[in-house]
Amino acid sequence: MRISDMNWMQVEQYLTHDDRAVLPLGSTEQHSHLRLTVDCILPERVAAEAAEPLGVPVFPVVAYGVTPYFREFPGSISLRIETHLNVVRDILDGLAHSGFRRILVCNGHGGNGAVAQLAQEWSAHQAGCRIIFHNWWNAPRTWAKVQEVDPVASHGSWMENFPWTRLPNVSMPETQRPMVDLARLRLLDPVALREYLGDGNYGGFYQRPDEEMLAIWRVAVEETRALLADGWG
């Protein structure tokens, strides 16, 4: 269930019998022909679908992440690493103060990786608190399913093209784009990176059949739910 569908009294009642919560992390950045908020939509949705049968509340996604390399693509907004970590730390402090002790951070953006280290540090200094940092898209079972469908999969490609991340009346190229040179990409400044990337797809087809995408989605939801239910040691 989403925290936006609860009032404070319901949260207080929930905390009398459970102490789990989910915090999705996202980013607002270019995703080729898809929505700029792909990395917000996907972790929040996978978290909500995973948590619903367990009755665990899902907090609103943190909609901005660390993505300075995309700043030349209009609409891509990046926080400084220290800003992002401070925001996440403050949210975790607030969750702990409310009484949440087991927090699944469901991350949807690779640039937010520093939060994994923050989570370890934070939980080490918060008695009784545990955090699972979960990159939903490349968790073992989900990534294996992606590779089973098509091993040429990347940022802005088919693997992020779900019915809820595409835009109406925006047609997708039908070609398969060759994978970009990731080693070269990491050396480019934002202006050169935009020139090199073109439309922003890192490589692969732009869209695959929905039945394939929904099969991947089911694995992602199940894998996230299993962590939330049984991943606490």
Residue 190 is classified by DSSP as: H
- Whether pLDDT at 178 is above 90: yes
Give the up-direction half-sphere exposure of residue 89: CA atoms within 13 A in the CB hemisphere: 14
What whole-number distance in Å separates Cα of residue 99 and Cα of residue 129?
Answer: 10
Cα 149 to chain centroid distance, Å, stands at: 20
- Whether pLDDT at 1 is above 90: no
Average pLDDT over residues 111-126: 96
Q: Percent of the chain beyond pLDDT 90? A: 99
- Whether pLDDT at 159 is above 90: yes
What whole-number distance in Å separates Cα of residue 116 and Cα of residue 131?
Answer: 9
Q: Report the chain's mean pLDDT, rounded to a whole number.
A: 97
Residue keyed to tokens 């991350």: 107
150, burial (CB in 10 Å: exposed 0-12, middle 13-18, buried 19+): middle
- Whether pLDDT at 27 is above 90: yes
What whole-number distance in Å separates Cα of residue 186 and Cα of residue 156?
Answer: 17
Q: What is the CATH number of the domain that holds 216?
A: 3.40.50.10310
- Tens digits of residue pLDDT in 47-73: 999 999 999 999 999 999 999 999 999
Q: Are 38 and 76 in contact (CB under 8 A)?
A: no
Residue keyed to tokens 């692969």: 204
Q: What is the pLDDT of residue 233?
A: 83
- Tens digits of residue pLDDT in 37-47: 999 999 999 99
Number of domains in the chain: 1
Q: What is the pLDDT of residue 139?
A: 98
Q: Are 133 and 43 in contact (CB under 8 A)?
A: no
Domain span holding position 80: 3-230
Q: Are 167 and 35 in contact (CB under 8 A)?
A: yes
Q: Which residues of 1-40 are buried (b: 16+ CB within 10 A; e: fewer)?
A: eebeeeeeeeeeebbeeebbbbbbbbbbbbbbbbbbbbbb
The pTM score is 0.96
Q: What is the pLDDT of residue 9?
A: 98
Residue 1 tokens read as: 């269930």
Q: What is the pLDDT of residue 87?
A: 98
Q: What is the pLDDT of residue 11?
A: 98
Strands (DSSP E) found in the chain: 20-25, 102-107, 130-135, 176-177, 204-205
